[in-house]
Amino acid sequence: MTEQEPTSEKQAARFAYTGLERVIHEKARLGILTSLASQSQGLLFTELKELCALTDGNLSRHITVLQEAGLIEVWKGFHRKRPQTLCRMTKEGRARFLDYLAELQRVVADAADARTVDVPKPTGMEGWTPV
């Protein structure tokens, strides 16, 4: 068996990157989760808004999506008679985020390998022209 012959369905779809969850992969949600990953106690809505450069409405919508996906939990309370919203990653959310990062590292490694590949001139394509 040669190295390029697939031995399994996973190997056949080597570059499918199925571990890149769409719910996490969106730029704003990736920023939110990255912010929360290093803060086990969570972050206030206003802190997330500033860290991720999002509007109130945009952040609120992304928080809802992440909460519905089980990646974060939201706590409501008051501080000095002012409403506060605290967001933090769930245990499942942390595990899924770390899995996502591992898959992303695979993407980066695959892309780095591409830098060392020589691109030969096509053979057997006489009469073909690039478009």
Q: Is residue 45 part of a domain?
A: yes
Q: Is residue 48 part of a domain?
A: yes
CA angle 99, 104, 105 (to 5 degrees): 95
Q: Render pLDDT for 28-80 as a digit per residue (tens, 0 to 9).
A: 999 999 999 999 999 999 999 999 999 999 999 999 999 999 999 999 999 98
Distances (CA, A) of 13 to 8, 10, 29, 34, 46: 9, 5, 26, 28, 41
Q: Is residue 98 part of a domain?
A: yes
How many structural domains comprise the chain? 1
Q: Is residue 87 part of a domain?
A: yes
Q: For the domain that residue 52 is a member of, what is the CATH number? A: 1.10.10.10
Q: Render pLDDT for 106-129 as a digit per residue (tens, 0 to 9).
A: 999 988 887 777 777 777 777 777
Q: Which domain does 96 fall in, by range?
A: 15-107
pTM for the full model? 0.79
d(CA 39, CA 33): 10
